[in-house]
């Protein structure tokens, strides 16, 4: 029986994970559930799954969560705050950790799970982007496996002969990350000024939160995935290519030196990758309907438009710069996207804010978590100053 801690239990990854867990009560048990501030949703999950531990990251929600669980007769232990997230990740109540907290807030708990040697199912790409060297060091110290459950990296993992070993010695020419192109695929740059937050969040294929939906629309999500592929699989920037595949059926491909190209195909449903990570090296039923290739009939691919969607080349530039540049990129993006969702900036302003922040914040090596958070805060403040000066 695998005992699973789900960090970000009320989000889309968390609820998909719990769906898979519920299908296999003989194999999995959700022993710890954590959420940011969704008290009502977390309490409902605790009432259903009866975990040993529930964590609300926002301490203001702790009294209400306790009261709801007492009223429901649920004996789950309740903790609150960032340190409690780390305990949920590293404690002995779980052997598997699903890291699905969005943004930099998920970094300490992800590193804690890695250091503790847990089976780490990673959906928080910011932890890899911001702190790749620190994550690799934590994994080496803990000795546990990392299985990416972001669909693209999970696909690459499946297509490599030994996914966790990366491309070294595997005869790989390049990794091909597929992108849906988002809701504005094929648009010219001048049309993007009229994009509203609701338009940007209407992803054509995937159901996601608002921040990641905007990242998909700008292609920043794909840019972060390029950086993530570099860290997870040891691929240089020149060996990672993004191709637009509007059907979202081919989740990524690996091209080998002999001309072979291996691809992982499936419905656009995160439960496939999650089930793979939970059961690996076995395969289990995930509740995903079979793929009907005859009905699908065709698969289309095209080049990504980095000239119109400038976040993608900005991510490549940050990868090549190395050090804390990816962390600066991520922080500036989070601030720019938040400003867009609040109506303070327009959609095309997002890459401009990121580019200027990358230029103005000093670059240095990533060697300690505290210094990295300092850089993250510096980048956020710089982005906020740019937003206030240019768009207020």
**Residues of each annotated binding site for NADPH:** 10-13, 37, 124, 126, 209
- What are 34's two structure tokens? 């954590």
Residues making up the binding site for Mn(2+) = 150, 152, 225
Contact status, residue 118 vs residue 97, Cβ threshold 8 Å: yes
Helix axes 325-341, 220-233, angle to 10 degrees: 150
Q: Is 50 left (phi over 0), alpha (psi -120 to 50) or beta?
A: left
- What are 216's two structure tokens? 């998909």
Upper half-sphere CA count for residue 15 (Cβ side, 13 Å): 11
Residue 135 to residue 185: CA distance in whole angstroms: 33
Phi, psi of 242 (to 5 degrees): -105, 130
Residue 124 to residue 106: CA distance in whole angstroms: 7
Residues making up the binding site for 1-deoxy-D-xylulose 5-phosphate = 125, 151-152, 180, 203, 216, 221-222, 225
- What are 24's two structure tokens? 């296999």
Residue 47 to residue 61: CA distance in whole angstroms: 17
Residue 196 to residue 214: CA distance in whole angstroms: 10
Helix axes 125-142, 325-341, angle to 10 degrees: 140
Phi, psi of 119 (to 5 degrees): -70, 115
Calculate Rg over the CA atoms of the chain: 20
């Amino acid at each position: 029986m695998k005992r699973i801690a789900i960090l970000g239990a009320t989000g889309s990854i968390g609820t998909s994970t719990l769906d898979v867990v519920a299908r296999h009560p003989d194999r999995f048990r959700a022993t710890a559930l954590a959420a940011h501030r969704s008290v009502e949703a977390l309490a409902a999950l605790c009432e259903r799954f009866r975990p040993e531990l529930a964590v609300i990251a926002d301490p203001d929600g702790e009294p209400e969560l306790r009261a709801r669980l007492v009223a429901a007769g649920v004996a789950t232990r309740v903790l609150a705050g960032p340190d409690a997230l780390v305990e949920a990740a590293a404690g002995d109540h779980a052997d598997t950790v699903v890291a699905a907290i969005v943004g930099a807030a998920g970094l300490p708990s992800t590193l804690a799970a890695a250091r503790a040697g847990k089976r780490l199912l990673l959906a928080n790409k910011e932890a890899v982007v911001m702190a790749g060297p620190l994550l690799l060091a934590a994994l080496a110290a803990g000795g546990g496996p990392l299985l990416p459950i972001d669909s693209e990296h999970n696909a690459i993992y499946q297509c490599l002969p030994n996914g966790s070993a990366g491309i070294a010695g595997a005869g790989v020419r390049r990794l091909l990350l597929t992108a849906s192109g988002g809701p504005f695929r094929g648009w010219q740059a001048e049309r993007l000024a009229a994009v509203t937050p609701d338009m940007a969040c209407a992803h054509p294929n995937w159901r996601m939160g608002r921040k990641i939906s905007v990242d998909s629309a700008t292609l920043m999500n794909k840019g972060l995935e390029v950086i993530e592929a570099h860290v997870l699989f040891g691929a240089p920037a020149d060996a990672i290519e993004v191709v637009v595949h509007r059907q979202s059926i081919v989740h990524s491909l690996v091209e080998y030196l002999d001309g072979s190209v291996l691809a992982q195909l499936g419905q656009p449903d995160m439960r496939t990758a999650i089930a793979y990570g939970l059961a690996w090296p076995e395969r289990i039923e995930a509740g995903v309907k079979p793929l009907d290739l005859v009905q699908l009939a065709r698969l289309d691919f095209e080049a990504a438009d980095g000239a119109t969607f400038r976040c993608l080349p900005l991510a490549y530039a940050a990868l090549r710069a190395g050090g804390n540049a990816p962390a600066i990129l991520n922080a500036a993006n989070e601030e720019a996207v938040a400003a867009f969702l609040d109506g303070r900036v327009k959609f095309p302003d997002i890459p401009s804010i990121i580019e200027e922040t990358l230029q103005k914040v000093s670059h240095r090596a990533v060697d300690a978590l505290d210094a990295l958070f300092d850089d993250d805060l510096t980048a956020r403040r710089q982005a906020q100053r740019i937003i206030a000066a240019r768009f207020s």
